[in-house]
């Protein structure tokens, strides 16, 4: 597993929820984020604003004021944040070993034949140096 530097401040569970909304959309206001959340993840408008400002402070979002409304947009890509979180997880839980991660996952999750074939293809590509 690559040991690339990850984002300095990891995202909390609810911050991931907000970031996924922004990554799936584009620039969004706090109200738009709030309205896009599934019912079980709804929070007060002021709570959403607080989380958005925290994400600006952490460097994940940028803020642009248009008229009286603040709009928030992602500064970092989903891919880079996922890569950082994955690397942190593998480093902390599996001592940086992708093979230990795979050895844990394969017997402990239900894989269908399509997923198994996809994993085989990924391993073949990695072995050839295509990955």
- In DSSP notation, 51-96 reads HHHHHHHHTSEEEEEETTEEEEEESS-HHHHHHHHHHHHHHHHSTT
Q: Are residues 21 and 58 in the same domain?
A: yes
Decide the pairing of beta strands 61-66 and 28-29: unpaired
Q: Is the alpha carbon torsion for 110, 115, 117, 123 positive or negative?
A: negative
Number of domain units in the chain: 2
Q: In which domain, by residue range, is 67 found? A: 13-74
Query: Does residue 61 lie in a domain region?
Result: yes
Query: Does residue 64 lie in a domain region?
Result: yes
- Write out pLDDT tens, residues 74-108: 999 999 999 999 999 999 999 999 999 999 988 98
Query: Does residue 22 lie in a domain region?
Result: yes
- Write out pLDDT tens, residues 8-46: 589 999 999 999 999 998 899 999 999 999 999 999 999
Are 100 and 18 in contact, with CB atoms under 8 Å apart?
no
Query: Does residue 49 lie in a domain region?
Result: yes
- For the cut 60, the answer to whether the pLDDT of residue 6 exceeds it is no
């Amino acid at each position: 597993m690559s040991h690339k530097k990850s984002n300095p401040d990891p995202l909390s569970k609810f911050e991931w929820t907000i970031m996924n909304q922004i990554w799936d959309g584009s620039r969004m206001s706090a109200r738009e984020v709030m309205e896009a959340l599934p019912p079980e993840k709804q929070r007060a408008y002021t709570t959403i604003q607080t989380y958005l400002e925290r994400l600006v402070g952490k460097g994940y979002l940028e803020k642009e004021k248009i008229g009286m409304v603040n709009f928030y947009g992602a500064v970092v890509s989903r891919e880079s944040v996922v890569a950082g979180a994955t690397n942190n997880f593998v480093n902390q839980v599996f001592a940086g070993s992708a093979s230990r991660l795979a050895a844990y996952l394969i017997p402990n999750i239900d894989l269908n034949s399509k997923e198994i074939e996809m994993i085989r293809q990924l391993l073949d590509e990695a072995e050839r140096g295509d990955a």
